[in-house]
A and B are shown apart, each in its own frame.
Chain A
Amino acid sequence: MNPTPSVVVSHVSKIFKRAKDLAPVEALRDVSLELPANTFVTLLGPSGCGKTTLLRMINGLIQPDSGEVHVFGKPPKPGPRIGFVFQSFRLIPWLNVRNNVGFGLSLQGVGEAERKERVDHYLKLVGLSRFADVYPHELSGGMKQRAALARALVTEPEILLMDEPFASLDAQVRELMQMEMMRLWSERRGIVLFVTHSVDEAIIMADKIALMGPRPGRIVETLDVPLPRPRWDDSIKMQRDYIELRRYLWDRIREMVTQDPSSDFYAGEPDKS
């Protein structure tokens, strides 16, 4: 018998109203998803299919119109137990790296000494110890994202929500950050829900992939990733399972995008002959 998963999203829908002359957007329709303990789940799907919306809902930043979200058996409330890493780094420009990373702790009223100790630990973990006293504008993109990651980790959340965290990084930095993230996760585990546009990233990182489709935003399919860990090694990309999964996902995405009338790649009505 399985224990109840820590995060349960059941039949959730969300419609965003817009300015009077614009039609409302159905961001999510009847989405259900379960995140069992200690799993790394990637959320893969084309732009606009409601990935960010789903994350914000699991964090409790917005409420569903219908359906329910339960985190540890209760409707979620934003706070230190659920970490959120945003696509834009969202560092506070007038605080140095140390105070940015410690921001959540200081909101909780954690004392100076303990805060410093915990911040130092996570700065070291993401390799930013030497930059503790620097302001965000002096950091490179990769360093900013590592600072944002440390800020989310320092409150020791049981659930980590990551919204395309590496999307704005260049290819090399991105791969290094993926390795970094997998190393971190292998040490501390917990639940990670990781949004990405990249099929490769989705496969490499995940135990489980939830594939989403647009208009209305919905979960099309969930798949297990049968690849062994650790996956630091590039040879993983040569494995049969990897290649097949990759081809399958690409086909599904291509299909969705070419059949979506509002997509740039819309190929017209499929031939019914």
Chain B
Amino acid sequence: MITVYRLLAFGLFLLIWWTVSLIVGPNLIPTPLNTVFAARDLLRDGKILEPLLSSLAVYSTGYALAVLVGIPIGMLMGGIRDLGRTLDIYVNALMATPRVAFIPLIILFLGLGAEAKIAVVFLGAVIPILIGTYSGILNSDAELIEMARSLGASRSQIYWRIMLPGALAFVVIGLRIGATIGLINTVVAELYTAASGLGGLLALYGNTFQMARYFVVILALSLIGGLVSQGLRALEAWSSRWRVTAGN
């Protein structure tokens, strides 16, 4: 049923797109059909494949680094209370700072190449992942902890068997927010450092009024975002498989 509704919503979306493009004129907003043709051309002459792969490489490397750094630091901050209390105001301040503000600094240190772009993605994604992990551990269930203590659990047993597994749902939320910000930062980085990847194509087609191609790039980005968030949703479902399943 939901699939049918989704298809209907998609049809409605196409209809609105089409109407708007007819009203404003296809030079500003291409019709869906023109966009499809543009996509076919771009795929055929390979102009989109290489930028796509380059964006994906930046995105996945930056995100992977963010996971590898964010989760362990969050685990340490949650496990060692004083460390967490010392650092959490700085982490929160960093969360509130638009991290794209650091781009000029990053360019200064790392130049305009892939390293700088990866750093921008990393910086965007790492903070929510870290905060998700940390707050998951802080939110652990005091009653379960006391229960474990009554059975003679040591502090490290409580950490590994109660606090950490209980934090999993929060970690996954952090991963999802991190993935979204990471993708945004991929494009931002490609626009503000040496133009490359899908962000570079956006700038190129936008500045030269090739709007059909410009729209193809936007759709490609939505596709990546959609696929990644579906994947993380699957992870979320897996991590809470012991919960009451909705509609059951």
Give residues in A with beta carbon < 8 Å to B.
59, 61, 77-80, 82, 84, 86, 88, 90, 92-96, 103-104, 107-108, 135, 137, 151, 155
Contacts and interface: CB of A to CB of B under 8 A. Distances in A.
Given A80-B151, A107-B148, A108-B152, A86 B242 contact: no
Given A88-B143, A90-B143, A93-B243, A61 B150 contact: yes
A90 B149 CA distance: 12
A151 B144 CA distance: 13
A92 B144 contact: yes
Given A90-B143, A94-B165, A137 B151 contact: no
A157 B172 CA distance: 39
B243 A78 contact: no
Interface in B149-175: 149-153, 157, 161-162, 165-166, 168
A79 B152 contact: yes
Given A80-B152, A84-B147, A151-B151, 19 more contacts: A61-B149, A78-B150, A78-B151, A78-B152, A79-B151, A79-B152, A82-B150, A84-B150, A84-B151, A90-B143, A90-B144, A92-B144, A92-B162, A94-B166, A94-B168, A103-B148, A104-B152, A107-B152, A107-B161
A82 B166 CA distance: 26
Contacts of A84: 147, 150-151
Nearest to B165: A94
B152 to A, nearest CB: 3
Contacts of A155: 151
Most chain A CB inside 10 Å of its own CB: which residue of B148, B151, B166, B244? B151
A137 B152 contact: no
Nearest to A90: B147
A61 B150 CA distance: 7
Contact of A103 (B151, B165, B168, B243): B151
21 contacts: A77-B152, A78-B151, A79-B151, A80-B151, A80-B152, A82-B150, A86-B143, A86-B146, A90-B143, A90-B144, A90-B146, A92-B144, A93-B242, A94-B165, A94-B168, A94-B242, A103-B148, A107-B157, A107-B161, A135-B242, A151-B151
A144 to B, nearest CB: 13
A137 B244 contact: yes
